[in-house]
Structure 1
Amino acid sequence: MTSLNSTKSTSELRVMAELTLLGAIWGGSFLLMRVAAPEFGPLALVELRLAFGALVLLPFVYRARRQLEGRWVTLFLIGIINSAVPFLLFAWATAVAPAAIAAIANSMTALFAALIAGWMFGERLGPRRCIGLLAGMAGVIVMAGIPMAGVPVGWAALAATAAALCYGFSGNLVRRYLGGLPPVALGGATLACSALLVLPLALLYWPEHDISPAAWGSAIMLGVLCTGIAYAFLFRLLDRIGAARTATVTYLVPLFGVAWAWIILGEPLTTGTLIAGILILGGVALGQSRQPAPAALKQPRA
């Protein structure tokens, strides 16, 4: 019994460490965008992110190539909403405002996903999720209305929130139209499709000035580590501990995003940012609360 408890405790610590590591990696993506976006511009940076991320996941795509046949039009369309547009919005937001803004707004993804699931699949939102959504939106309004270190961040906050809305839509679209496909291969395929779509514009607006080594290193890490490897890491956790526990990484990403920006870039922790973060994370916590499912959802459908 003692040995069993010890093994269980070790496994639990490992899961917590892996969730923390994933939160740290994704939180770091906003720092990397903040470093690279001003030099590359949003289009070139996003193309590099998509291409490097797709290369990391290419073996999974190749292995599932037969399952993906006949689905490429859908993959291209969902890739626009799942990768190309939100990546561009986040890259633009971090180019013009502190990284903490995008990191905090990204947390709205979970609330938007629940709201859109209610619209697309008839899932009951419940009072807690409704209150959570209102709290999250209040946080966005606070964040958008208060300058950070003297810099107006309203448009950046709205752009990052729109990116989170895209994520909320894409998750539900994948569920409806691409359910049953290997998730990691699906992620790699949508990244590759998005890379092809963004490529002409990225070449058209490719920066003519020299790019610093720091910006190049940030762009490569953003694609390889924060997109490709993190995506594969995510689905490994989903398989081991399930969606509900993996969703707790939602709380860690903005915390690490703000912390990395503060420690490495010296971005200030303002009162407005803290209030917005509390409102949004509190809203996400309410939205993630387990609620009893209606009888119609508990019963299997014919």
Structure 2
Amino acid sequence: MNSDERRGWLLGLLGVAVFGLTLPMTRLATGSLDAPQLSPWFVTWARAAIAGGLSLAWLWATRAPRPRPEHRRPLALAVLGNVIGFPLLLGWALRHVTASHAAVFTALLPLATAAMAAWLMHQRARLGFWLFAGLGSALVVAYSLLRAHQAGHGFGLSWADTLLVGAVLAAALGYVGGTQVTPALGAERVISWVCALALPITLPAALLTWPERGVNPSAWLGLAYVAVFSMWAGFFAWFRGLSLGGPLRVSQLQLLQPFISIAAAVPLLGERLDALTLVFALAVVASVFAGRRFGAAPPAPSPSLHKAST
């Protein structure tokens, strides 16, 4: 492994660690149903508005070129999915469930993103990918049903789990939108333009939903983290790591993210390590790994090989 690859792995690991703290920090910001803190509406708009201000400063300092008209639709998808959909649905869900519980659902994000890319970008995927995607989804449903049964609600999906599924799909949609314009704009510029373009919506919305009562300082700390790091700076480390170390290898570090979320929730939120959650998180991550390893689309033959075979 050369120096660039080593730096890529370290930056990728840093990015995954940053994103792994998103769930417990969001829960810290919104609070629980019994002890609510900041409104999920306010957290959604404020985190994006703060990141948008930082993005504008960075874009101006680096003299970044403006997106072209053909970039508007993919960037709009990223705004809809990553700026609004994911944080809002996640915030409301975390009012009702623990960060560890949510980590099991968000472990499906790599597979959901690949499935969304196969649908919207017409990328090929082998049967193995879809089989493991179905297995991972079934494991998440089984976990939700068992949790509902343990809570005395019978076997049924809770409203919070439905929100978590929506959050995963929204994030996957946003990632695919951003991916479509990354070759033209550059990875770091994509997230910055996404946050900056959303400012006409997010800044007024944050002011309109400003909390009317006092909250714990820890809630503001959680908001600051998800605004500066989860929404913006974490992508710089992650995208740079992918570039230096190679997407195929460095992206496998995402498999650590659910466990970072579960481990961080213990000191930050006082959650306890739960055997059922750990077992299902491990099983879902294993299905994601298998789906990405054995279900990738076959490489297209090179023109020279095709010519030689004919």
Both structures adopt the same fold (TM-score exceeding 0.5): yes
Match of 2:40 in 1: 42
What is the deviation of 1:57?
3.0
Runs of 4+ displaced beyond 6 Å: none
Residues 198 and 96 of structure 1, relative CA distance in 2, 3 Å threshold: farther
Post-superposition CA distance 1:67-114 (Å, at most 9, x none): 325467533443112321111111112222101122232221211122
Of the three residues 189, 212, 226, the one matched with 1:222 is: 226
Residues 239 and 19 of structure 1, relative CA distance in 2, 3 Å threshold: closer
Out of 274-283 and 285-294, give the one that drifted further: 285-294
Residues 161 and 246 of structure 1, relative CA distance in 2, 3 Å threshold: farther
Are the equivalent residues in 2 in contact too, given 1:108–1:165 (CA < 8 A)? no
The aligned runs of 1:156-171 (5 Å cut-off) are 156-171=160-175
RMSD: 2.8
Match of 1:126 in 2: 126
Identical pairs, percent = 23
Are the equivalent residues in 1 in contact too, given 2:107–2:258 (CA < 8 A)? yes
The aligned runs of 1:1-302 (5 Å cut-off) are 8=1, 14-38=7-31, 39-62=37-60, 63=62, 65-70=64-69, 73-74=72-73, 75-147=75-147, 150=151, 154-176=158-180, 179-289=183-293, 293-294=297-298, 297-299=300-302
What is the deviation of 1:141?
0.5
- Letter of the 1:227 counterpart: M
Q: Distance in 2 between matches of 1:58 and 1:123?
A: 33
Are the equivalent residues in 2 in contact too, given 1:131–1:286 (CA < 8 A)? no
Residues 145 and 271 of structure 1, relative CA distance in 2, 3 Å threshold: farther
Out of 275-284 and 249-258, give the one that drifted further: 275-284
What is the deviation of 1:240?
0.6
Count of residues in Structure 1 that have an aligned counterpart in Structure 2: 292
- Letter of the 2:46 counterpart: L
Are the equivalent residues in 2 in contact too, given 1:61–1:186 (CA < 8 A)? no
- Letter of the 2:51 counterpart: G
* 3-state secondary structure, aligned to 2:198: helix
Q: Distance in 2 between matches of 1:15 and 1:180?
A: 21
What TM-score, normalized by structure 1, do the two folds share?
Answer: 0.84
Are the equivalent residues in 2 in contact too, given 1:102–1:156 (CA < 8 A)? no
Out of 202-211 and 41-50, give the one that drifted further: 202-211
What TM-score, normalized by structure 2, do the two folds share?
Answer: 0.82
Runs of at least 5 residues in structure 1 that lack an aligned partner in the other structure: 1-7
- Letter of the 2:22 counterpart: S
Runs of at least 5 residues in structure 2 that lack an aligned partner in the other structure: 32-36, 304-310
Q: Distance in 2 between matches of 1:16 and 1:72?
A: 30
What is the deviation of 1:15?
4.4
What is the deviation of 1:37?
1.0
Q: Distance in 1 between matches of 2:152 and 2:51?
A: 32
